[in-house]
Amino acid sequence: MESREVSALLEELTTLVGREDPYGHYARLREIGAFVRADDGTLIVTRFAECAAVARDHKLGKMPVEMLAHAGLADWADHPALYGYFTSLLGINPPDHTRLRRLVSSSFTARRVQALRPATERMIDGLIDEMDGTVDFVAAFAFPLPCNVISELLGIPPADRAQFQHLVSDWSAVLDDITPEVLSKANPAARAVRDYLAGLAAERRRRPREDLMSALVGHEEAGDRLTEDELLTMAGLLFAAGFETTTNLLSNGLVALLAHPEQLPCLFADPASAVQELLRYDSPVQNIDRTALETTTVAGVTFQPGDRIVAYTGSANRDARRFPDPDRLDLRRGDNTSLSFGGGMHYCLGAPMAKLEAEIAFPRLFERLPNLKRAEGAQRRDSLTIRGFDTLPVTTG
């Protein structure tokens, strides 16, 4: 009976109705068990403690590229859009992951991110200036902001930035679905981004500046440095995946705040804590996938090499075993560190940047647009992993 119910719940989560509000489905899955089995054999992890343990276990990693053929992606390396993901930090395992993460982390520092604050404030004010009447919040604000911030970080001139919005949108579609139709747009977009970044890297080798591209080009640690391929893949990753969390954090967070206006004083009092709670309450990333790289036991369950695990972090963030009254948005909630940025060695490298943007954006939006409200016509993103909106009409009042 439970097996049939699990199958039905998981199936409903793949529909737009289930994706509109998945949290009731998650609650029932958590009641059934910390681990439930999907029809294809994948083990679904539903509760916070177990999801955190899966995220931290270094014997559980990303699907090795030699296994991609079994997933129907034998020609992945021939597609620029897929190559960019499966050879980046998103898709590789130690020791390559350890080496690349160390090299990039030493350039992608908290100081460099915080130095973006003045520019981010100017961008936010500029985007708000253009929001008048009824607008699509995603197109007008939530998408262009992270694209422009990442461009600022890398050192891309303002005049060149507009082209990246549609390129990144076309490329990142492979995060939701890999079909010939999606790849027909994603591949040329990925190639165009990479070609541009190759030119920028060459320019920074000739004339370095105080930007991340210059740091990536010039940084060397213990005699090691990024190869040209690694450099372009890393810079491309910042574009194609780096904006996903922020765009959907901004959209989901705005919807939550508009539905709970009584929480706005807490937002103004402590924006950092408020953003942590918004991340927990309606996470932009709803699950993380892992493959057992070697035999390991997590939370009493033993995995064999090749076993596939999906940790439902969106469910974990609503687990009453970890968060009291988890379905209530409470911007005063003290201990609200969630799994929205993953965990362990694959913890999101861009988390500080996403938080910075949201911490500035939300108070500024409500300060400058006090009559901001939702309008009709929102379309939720059709994705099981990325939770957000394709369009989110709002009116400025």
Angle between helices 228-240 and 144-154 (to 10 degrees): 150
* CA distances to 75, 175, 178 from 71, in Å: 11, 15, 11
> Rounded distance, CA 238 to CA 151, Å?
9
What would the pLDDT profile of 374-387 be if each residue is shown by its tens digit? 999 999 988 888 89
What would the pLDDT profile of 186-245 be if each residue is shown by its tens digit? 999 999 999 999 999 999 999 999 899 998 888 755 567 888 999 999 888 887 766 778
Residue boundaries of the structural domains of the chain: 1-395
| Buried/exposed 18-45: b ≥16 CB within 10 Å, e otherwise | bbeebeebbbebbeeebbbeeeeeebbb
Closest CA to 249 of 281, 283, 287: 283
Beta-sheet pairing, 308-311 with 43-45: parallel
pLDDT at 32 over 80: yes
316, two tokens:
């974990």
What pLDDT does residue 221 have?
Answer: 55
75, two tokens:
């020609």
Superfamily of domain 1-395: Cytochrome P450 (1.10.630.10)
Region 68-83 average pLDDT:
86
What would the pLDDT profile of 303-319 be if each residue is shown by its tens digit? 999 999 999 999 999 99
What would the pLDDT profile of 343-357 be if each residue is shown by its tens digit? 998 888 889 999 999
Ranking 101-110, 206-215, 270-279, 370-379 by mean pLDDT, the lowest is: 101-110
Q: Average per-residue pLDDT in the chain?
A: 91
> Rounded distance, CA 149 to CA 163, Å?
14
